[in-house]
């Protein structure tokens, strides 16, 4: 079927909102109504541009027009306030970074990926913040699904679990959770994880998983960022970190499962040097080569990714 909607998901209001967040316009209008011309002057912005952008923000419902100027709309306040847990700024910032990669697709087609984009502390913070928000809806149902599949679980290693959302949902099941992630990600999240009593390991899973004896090793949205050789190596290390009777659980896109999956493969093309969306047969091969058995694939309610599991005898 051909997609006839050339602007799926109305991308323009989001681009306008991203720009307004980045430039400080939203923060300036969080509490105090101001006429657009005045806020332009205060932030040293172009007045003509500010007035047009403010019009979109009002029409989209992010700002509200009052007699004394414009202000963030009460309904949107939690989403736009950096101090609120519902803040969507990190997600939008990360989307902005992705757009800057996606527009380089013609060059990537000529020369191969990834697209060029400097990684900064802000972009890492936005990436991790975005992952935290993105996992919120599915974290609890996925933990329930895993608890039903592996009821004897008491200890979990969450590889690539630095954002912490899934780890917290595992902990709600009474499981003892350890998160392994890159040092810079653990450093970002250390306070939140420590406060929740979650153990951490700083490391690179493609080099080693320096821990053992877990009932469950979970890898959520990790494999797609790695090359096939790295995936095989992480599957082997994950198997080594399991107690006998334990299980490896992988949440990821599967090749050949529709538009979200083929789009995500392009995402990995522009964003990583070796990442991809892999086929069920690839995962099965990596798990079996790692000595794991009973490979199985499950749907995850309401999500495009699949849950893949395999056990250690």
Ligand X SMILES: C[S@@+](CC[C@H](N)C(=O)[O-])C[C@H]1O[C@@H](n2cnc3c(N)ncnc32)[C@H](O)[C@@H]1O
* Residues of the shown chain interacting with ligand X in the complex, contacts defined by CB under 6 A: 131, 135, 160-163, 166, 180-182, 185, 204-206, 220-222, 225, 251
Single out the residue of 175, 173, 102, 94 nearest to residue 133, CA to CA: 94
Angle at 203 between CA 199 and CA 208, to 5 degrees: 110
Single out the residue of 207, 142, 145 nearest to residue 168, CA to CA: 142
For the CB of residue 197, give the shortest distance to ligand X in the complex, in Å: 19
Q: By C-beta, is 81 or 172 nearer to ligand X?
A: 172
Prior bond of 114 cis (ω within 30°) = yes
For the CB of residue 161, give the shortest distance to ligand X in the complex, in Å: 5
Cross-strand bridge partners of residue 72: 63
Q: By C-beta, is 155 or 233 nearer to ligand X?
A: 233
Q: By C-beta, is 106 or 121 nearer to ligand X?
A: 121
- Write 182-185 long-range contacts (CB < 8 A, 24+): 184/124, 185/124, 185/128
Q: How far is CA 77 from the centre of its chain?
A: 23
Q: Which two tokens stand for residue 161?
A: 């679990």
Q: By C-beta, is 40 or 222 nearer to ligand X?
A: 222
| Collapsed DSSP state (helix, strand, coil) of residue 199 | strand
Task: Taking the CA atoms of 74, 79, 81 and 84 in sequence, report the sign of the dihedral they define.
Answer: positive
End-to-end CA distance of the chain: 45
DSSP label at residue 34: B
Q: By C-beta, is 153 or 305 nearer to ligand X?
A: 305
Distance CA 250, CA 222 (A): 8
Q: By C-beta, is 113 or 162 nearer to ligand X?
A: 162
Q: Count the neighbouring beta carbons within 10 Å of the beta carbon of residue 235.
A: 26
Contacts (Cβ under 8 Å, ≥6 apart) of 135: 163, 165, 166, 220
For the CB of residue 20, give the shortest distance to ligand X in the complex, in Å: 26
For the CB of residue 189, give the shortest distance to ligand X in the complex, in Å: 9
Asked if 154 and 176 touch (Cβ cutoff 8 Å), the reply is: yes
For the CB of residue 299, give the shortest distance to ligand X in the complex, in Å: 16
For the CB of residue 18, give the shortest distance to ligand X in the complex, in Å: 20
For the CB of residue 93, give the shortest distance to ligand X in the complex, in Å: 15
For the CB of residue 120, give the shortest distance to ligand X in the complex, in Å: 15
Q: By C-beta, is 34 or 94 nearer to ligand X?
A: 94
Distance CA 10, CA 8 (A): 6
Q: By C-beta, is 136 or 255 nearer to ligand X?
A: 136
């Amino acid at each position: 079927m051909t997609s006839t909607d050339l602007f799926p998901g109305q991308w323009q209001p989001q681009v306008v909102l991203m720009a307004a967040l980045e430039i400080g316009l939203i923060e300036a209008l969080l509490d105090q109504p101001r006429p657009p011309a005045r806020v332009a002057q205060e932030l040293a912005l172009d007045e003509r541009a500010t007035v047009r952008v403010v019009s979109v923000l009002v029409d989209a419902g992010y700002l509200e027009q009052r007699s004394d100027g414009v202000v963030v709309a009460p309904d949107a306040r939690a989403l736009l306030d950096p101090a609120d847990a519902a803040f969507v700024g990190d997600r939008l910032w990360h989307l902005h970074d992705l757009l800057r990669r996606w527009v380089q697709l013609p060059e990537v087609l000529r020369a191969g990926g990834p697209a060029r984009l400097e990684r900064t502390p802000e972009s890492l913070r936005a990436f991790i913040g975005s992952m935290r928000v993105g996992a919120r809806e599915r974290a609890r149902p996925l933990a329930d699904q895993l608890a039903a599949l592996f009821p004897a679980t008491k200890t979990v290693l969450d590889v690539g679990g630095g954002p912490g959302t899934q780890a917290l949902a595992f902990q709600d099941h009474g499981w003892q959770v350890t998160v392994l992630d890159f040092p810079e990600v653990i450093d970002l999240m250390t306070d939140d994880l420590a406060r929740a009593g979650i153990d951490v390991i700083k490391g690179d899973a493609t080099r080693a998983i320096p821990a053992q004896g877990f009932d469950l090793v979970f890898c959520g949205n990790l494999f797609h960022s790695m090359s096939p050789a790295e995936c095989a190596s992480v599957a082997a290390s994950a198997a080594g970190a399991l107690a006998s009777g334990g299980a490896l659980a992988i949440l990821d896109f599967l090749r050949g499962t529709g538009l979200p999956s083929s789009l995500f493969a392009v995402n990995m093309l522009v964003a990583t040097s070796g990442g991809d969306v892999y086929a069920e047969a690839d995962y099965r091969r990596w798990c079996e080569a790692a000595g794991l058995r009973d490979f199985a694939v499950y749907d995850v309610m309401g999500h495009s990714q699949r849950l893949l599991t395999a056990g250690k005898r």
